[in-house]
Structure 1
């Protein structure tokens, strides 16, 4: 990784800022996915030209053929953090030689199975461990972490409220 100000990632930010200034509707992006069942409780999710398979371990009724949905979420969070760290390191001129991220989440299955309506079906807590290496001071890396925490879209999906509207279509 590099922190040079004339990097390709900064060029993307500059081009986007110019396009949005010319027409604010250029800021809007729509991402799509579709899915269908596979196996006992698994699914196949299509993301444009990509396919992701998701399953559950046997303890949750699955065949353990793929990561489960909350593991896919953790991978989404990690990958979004990696991208956001790389963008913001370049934007802030912070040199990062090494970057690795681990995520861990606590889930109480009583919520999913409806055994206790007082228990959330999702994670009760998520912990991220970010390891940064390079020549910068701890203060500069803390500045980078604050920027990432403020701008990571998948982290925002977890910490903010995102309206979800479901339309049920029956035959």
Structure 2
């Protein structure tokens, strides 16, 4: 992967900035997805034209046909970091010859299974390792890293509280 210090991604940023300047409402974007059960504990998620399958390993009651929900979260975090690195590398004029990102999270299943309500059901900690190769100085890559950490939407979902409104709609069948 080589991220050229070109303008393709900068052009998107500039076009977006112009559109938002003309009408601040243009900054609001809604993303949506829907899901249905599949198999023992799996889910088929539809997001636009795309389908994502999610399952659990047998130790958590699944058939292991796909990544589990927390692995999908880690994949989303890695993918969002990748996109954000590429946008900000161009924006800052930083050349990147290669980018590799790894993520791992520590989960205590006592929270999920309700075995200990003092244990949160989600990750206790997530670790990201970002490996950047290229011709720039370590300081320039540190600058890029700071920009990514500040602007990555999926990282923000974890690092800052995100209000979630959950609505239950029931249909009683005879």
TM-score bracket relative to the smaller structure? over 0.9
Q: For residue 153 of structure 2, what is the aligned residue in structure 1?
A: 153
- Per-residue CA deviation, residues 65-121 of structure 1 (Å, 9 max, x unaligned), is 110000000000000000000000000001111101000000000000000011010
Alignment of 1:1-171 (within 5 A): 1-4=3-6, 7-171=7-171
Looking at structure 2, the residues matched to 3 and 48 of structure 1 have their Cα atoms a distance apart, in angstroms, of 31
Looking at structure 1, the residues matched to 128 and 19 of structure 2 have their Cα atoms a distance apart, in angstroms, of 34
Aligned residues: 169
Spell out structure 1 runs of 4+ moving beyond 2 A: none
TM-score by length of 2: 0.96
TM-superposed deviation, 1:37: 0.4
TM-superposed deviation, 1:3: 1.6
Looking at structure 2, the residues matched to 16 and 38 of structure 1 have their Cα atoms a distance apart, in angstroms, of 39
TM-score by length of 1: 0.98
RMSD value over aligned CA atoms?
0.5
| Local SS of the residue matching 1:15 | helix
| Local SS of the residue matching 2:44 | strand
Gaps of 5+ in 2: none
